Amino acid sequence: MRVFMTMSHDIAPSLGTLPVPDPAAKEIRVKVAACGLNFADLLMASGSYQETPPLPFTLGMEVAGTIDALGHDVSGFALGDRVAVFGGQGGLAEYGCFDATRAVHLPDAMPFTDAAAFQVAYGTSHLALSHRARLQPGETLLVLGAAGGVGLTAVEIGKLMGARVVACARGADKLAAAQAAGADVLIDAQTDDLRAVMKDLGGSDVVYDPVGGDQFTAAFRSCRPEARILSIGFASGAVPQIKANHLLVKNITVHGVYWGGYLQFSPKVLTDSLATLMAWYSAGRIKPHVSHILPLEQAAEGMELLRSRASTGKVVIKIT
């Protein structure tokens, strides 16, 4: 089978060939139809992600496809079931074996390309906004990186939860995508003074930040008292350094959010969140924004789209 592998953290991932794997006792084997790319794939390829597998490994954190083999001790699934899986790795391949507990059944009407773009982005934003920040109707939500994979879902979910959503992104095209997702106010990160605009709006109750760097600093300085900041990631490459005395002055809370970590210590939080999200999808209330669908042979181009920030929403690799 064809796979997109990382052989070295100093050499770009490339296509290779491996035997089709057999599932272990509690695993399912999935004939992969589509794999969603995430910024974390870039970090994993470079060896800088918090959960980087030993070399060599196959990239691809989240997949969708059809079960074609079952290991012993697997219950709740059958051959031919359509599933989405957050495997953490192994998705950019024609077949993958994954722990059955990481799989969810798909609604019949959900295309594989939607399913492959769904779990990480929507799961991260829903967990962050509902479980961590406890976002309330009428509050002001500032979303940084608002046209990215997780950013657009934060805009969409924030609007569904009744917030006034302020979207910050770079350039007219990305801001248009954020506006289409439900943003009430747009801030161009290239030309606007983020802090000044937010001050004019009365400040933020919740900040959703997958960017870090200078944007975090500007957003922090424009927070209202008792604001909650959600630290999602650091796409800018700069990890903010927070002065505790500044948190104290306005009673600000900073929440770290690592969606995949809940699989280890509180998986029910994720399963309950995904159940809500799947119900929203089936009701037509949310819809993944996929800007690029590429074949496996162009997986490297898909990674470059993320690296150069040339995409909006999600990039999906279509395997079969």
Residue type, 142: L
pLDDT number for residue 52:
81
pLDDT number for residue 50:
81
- Answer whether 0.85 is exceeded by the pTM: yes
Residues of the chain with CATH 3.40.50.720: 121-260
CA distances from 162 to 136, 137, 196, 235 (A): 7, 4, 24, 27
Task: Classify domain 121-260 by CATH number.
Answer: 3.40.50.720
218 close to 195: Cβ distance less than 8 angstroms? yes
Give the sign of the dihedral formed by CA 128, CA 131, CA 133, CA 136: positive
Helix axes 149-160, 172-180, angle to 10 degrees: 40
As given in the structure block, the two tokens for residue 148 are 């990215």
* Architecture of the 2-118+288-318 domain: Alpha-Beta Complex (3.90)
pLDDT number for residue 1:
95
pLDDT in tens, 201-225: 999 999 999 999 999 999 999 999 9
215 in helix, strand or coil?
A: helix
Per-residue pLDDT of the chain in tens (320 residues, 90 and over written 9): 999 999 888 888 999 999 999 999 999 999 999 999 999 999 999 998 888 889 999 999 999 999 999 999 999 999 999 999 999 999 999 999 999 999 999 999 999 999 999 999 999 999 999 999 999 999 999 999 999 999 999 999 999 999 999 999 999 999 999 999 999 999 999 999 999 999 999 999 999 999 999 999 999 999 999 999 999 999 888 999 998 998 999 999 999 999 989 988 998 999 899 999 999 999 999 999 999 999 999 999 999 999 999 999 999 999 98
d(CA 159, CA 146): 13
pLDDT number for residue 29:
98
CA count, 13 A, side-chain hemisphere, 32: 33
Residues of the chain with CATH 3.90.180.10: 2-118+288-318
Tracing tokens 């006792």 back to the chain, one arrives at: 25
Helix-strand-coil split of the chain, %, nearest 5: 35, 30, 40
pLDDT in tens, 244-269: 998 999 999 999 999 989 988 998 99
7 close to 55: Cβ distance less than 8 angstroms? yes
d(CA 281, CA 32): 21
